[in-house]
Amino acid sequence: MLRLSIREEAVLDMNVAVRQETDAVTTAFAPAAPTLPLAHLYARVSKHVTPAEWPLIARDVEAIERLKRERNAVVLGHNYQAPEIFNTVADIVGDSLALAREAVTVDADVIVMAGVHFMAETAKLLNPSKTVLMPDMQAGCSLAESITAADIRLLRQHYPGVPVVTYVNTSAEVKAESDYCCTSGNAAKVVRHVAREWGVNRILMLPDEFLAQNVQKEVPEIELIAWKGHCEVHERFTPQDIRDLRENHPGVVVLAHPECPPEVVAEADYAGSTAGMADYVRDEKPARVVLITECSMADNVAVNHPDIEFVRPCNLCPHMRRITLPSIRRALETMTHQVEIDPAVADRARLAVERMLAIR
């Protein structure tokens, strides 16, 4: 065993002491780590945005907040928005039904829709005197584009006397040809209400084929006549995807959106709207969960549930991704693009939406 002499031990002790003193001095006089701007907001998105990216994002956030004050504006953010929008500038967040309800009550002169075009139209229908801005007019929806007003008129000829319930994921022109609207969160309730009020057992439920098929299982006493529209995000999920997730992530709880194919929903532990999924996570607190829907949804729900493991099968909505912080900022700076609806169309479309909102 190697032994140090008394002199060598003394020298070693002195060197250690010098290093410790030097480290203490260096620490005391080292420049402090730079403080991130809007640190309280960065904490909410830190899993998705790097510290290097944040200062540029923060500049847009600060500009948007200033413009909101100047314009007396609010930003409505759908659950599928990117975390850096959903968790920073969005004043009201939720699914299509929640945003439709909130749009009626907002105390603002300007509404900015951080969502897709049909959502901005719905906000305008319910707030005809307010300015509604759509940051990117190309942010459409595969479901909304799957059916036209002319299609509904032809269906009415083929099914005379059968009421028409359309998903809110449709244009104002399509809503104007409809009797009621519905969302994924209230579809079964709306269908039952219409059947009871109209005294019928057949309803045209448009345009989402999979939503109609999934709701049909909840209302077997009513015949639902469906269209062939599909959500390009949800139609890509398969039953094998669910089985693979369960095999690779033992114990995972599977929550599916009703826009998914019925075979996918059958494999899930729960099916519901994005708001329903968020409520399930909050109330049931599963240790491990997967949301079978647009992947930003899991990112946004996870912010409030750091102790839950979220498995993320990522299907992005290309239309939702068109909305960005720079496009929201530009919309408020230039007051574009303003959503306008032909008054003759708006009056009829508004009625279908208001009938839906009146159902409790």
- Tell me how far apart the alpha carbons of residues 174 and 141 are, in angstroms, rounded to a whole number: 14
Asked which of 173, 202, 230 is the last residue of a domain, the reply is: 230
Q: Extract the tokens encoding 129.
A: 């005197």
Instruction: Determine if residue 169 is labeled as part of a ligand binding site.
Output: yes
* CB 77 within 8 Å of CB 114: yes
Q: CA geometry: angle at 8 spanning 5 and 11, to 5°?
A: 150
Rounded distance, CA 279 to CA 115, Å?
A: 21
Domain that holds residue 285: 234-316
- What residues does 43 pair with on adjacent strands? none
Considering only residues 15 and 354, tell me which one the structure prediction assigns the higher pLDDT. Answer: 354
**Residue carrying structure tokens 């169309």:** 345
The model's pLDDT over 229-248, given as tens digits with 9 standing for 90+, comes to 999 999 999 999 999 999 99
Same domain, 136 and 56: yes
**What CATH number should be reported for the domain holding residue 56?**
3.40.50.10800
- For residues 65 and 116, membership in a common domain is answered with yes
Q: Tens digit of pLDDT for each residue in 184-221?
A: 999 999 999 999 999 999 999 999 999 999 999 999 99
Does the annotation list 314 as a binding residue?
no
Q: For residues 104 and 351, which has the higher predicted lDDT (pLDDT)?
A: 351
| Structural contact between residues 226 and 202, judged by C-beta atoms closer than 8 angstroms | no
116 located within any domain: yes
Q: What's the CA gap between 342 and 346, in Å, rounded?
A: 6
Q: Are 49 and 84 in contact (CB under 8 A)?
A: yes
State whether 131 and 174 are in the same domain. Answer: no
Q: Is 258 among the annotated ligand-binding positions?
A: yes
Residues 152 and 99 in one domain: no
What integer pLDDT is reported at residue 9 of this predicted model?
A: 43
| 336 appears as a binding residue in the annotation | no
Confidence of residue 50 (pLDDT cuts 50, 70, 90): very high
pLDDT of residue 34: 58
Angstrom distance (rounded) from CA 91 to CA 78: 11
80 is in an annotated binding site: no
Let me know whether 45 and 129 are in one domain. yes
Give a yes or no: residue 10 inside a domain. Answer: no
pLDDT in tens, 276-311: 999 999 999 999 999 999 999 999 999 999 999 999
pLDDT (tens digit per residue) in 158-181: 999 999 999 999 999 999 999 999
Task: Examine the domain organization and report whether 118 and 45 are in the same domain.
Answer: yes
pTM of the full structure: 0.88
Task: Say if CB 174 and CB 146 are below 8 A apart.
Answer: no
Backbone angles phi, psi at 291, to 5 degrees: -105, 115
Q: Is the pLDDT of residue 16 over 70?
A: no
SS3 per residue for the chain = CCCCCHHHHHHHHHHHHHHHHHHHHHHHHCCCCCCCCCHHHHHHHCCCCCCCCHHHHHHHHHHHHHHHHHHCEEEEEECCCCHHHHCCCCCEEECHHHHHHHHHHCCCCEEEEECCHHHHHHHHHHCCCCEEECCCCCCCCCCHHHCCHHHHHHHHHHCCCCCEEEECCCCHHHHHCCCEEECCCCHHHHHHHHHHHHCCCEEEEECEHHHHHHHHHHCCCCEEEECCECCCCHHHCCHHHHHHHHHHCCCCEEEECCCCCHHHHHHCCEECCHHHHHHHHHHHCCCEEEEECEHHHHHHHHCCCCCCEEECCCECCCCHHHCCHHHHHHHHHHCCCECCCCHHHHHHHHHHHHHHHHCC
Does residue 135 share a domain with residue 48? yes
Q: What is the mean predicted confidence (pLDDT) over 273-278?
A: 96
Cα gap 108→292, rounded to integer Å: 34
Express as a percent the part of the chain with pLDDT over 70.
91
For 117-130, the pLDDT digits (tens) are: 999 999 999 999 99
The answer to the question of residue 15 being in a domain is no
Of 8-12, 109-113, 142-146, 153-157, which gets the smallest average pLDDT?
8-12
Least confident of 24-33, 42-51, 117-126, 186-195: 24-33
Residue 359 belongs to a domain: no
Whether 142 has a binding-site annotation, put simply, is no
| Residue 77: pLDDT over 60 | yes
Q: In the numeric block, which tokens belong to residue 73?
A: 């504006």
Q: Cα-flanking dihedrals φ and ψ of residue 111, to 5°? A: -115, 125
Assess if residue 61 is contained within a domain: yes
Residue 90 belongs to a domain: yes
Work out how many domains the chain is built from and give that number. Answer: 3
* 319 marked as binding residue: no
Instruction: Answer whether residue 198 is part of any domain.
Output: yes
| Candidate from 1-15, 146-160, 167-181 with smallest mean pLDDT | 1-15
Residues 171 and 203 in one domain: yes
* Domain assignment of residue 8, yes or no: no
Answer yes or no: is 167 a known binding residue: yes
Residue with tokens 């989402």: 208
Please check whether residues 62 and 127 belong to one and the same domain. yes
Domain boundary among 230, 251, 281: 230
Cα separation, 346 vs 360, in Å, equals 23
Known binding residue 259? Answer is: yes
Residue 168 labelled as part of a binding site = yes
- Biggest CA-to-CA distance, the chain: 107
**Is the same domain home to 69 and 83?**
yes
Average pLDDT of the residues of the chain: 92
pLDDT at 7: 41
Same domain flag for 152 and 107:
no
240 and 179 assigned to the same domain: no
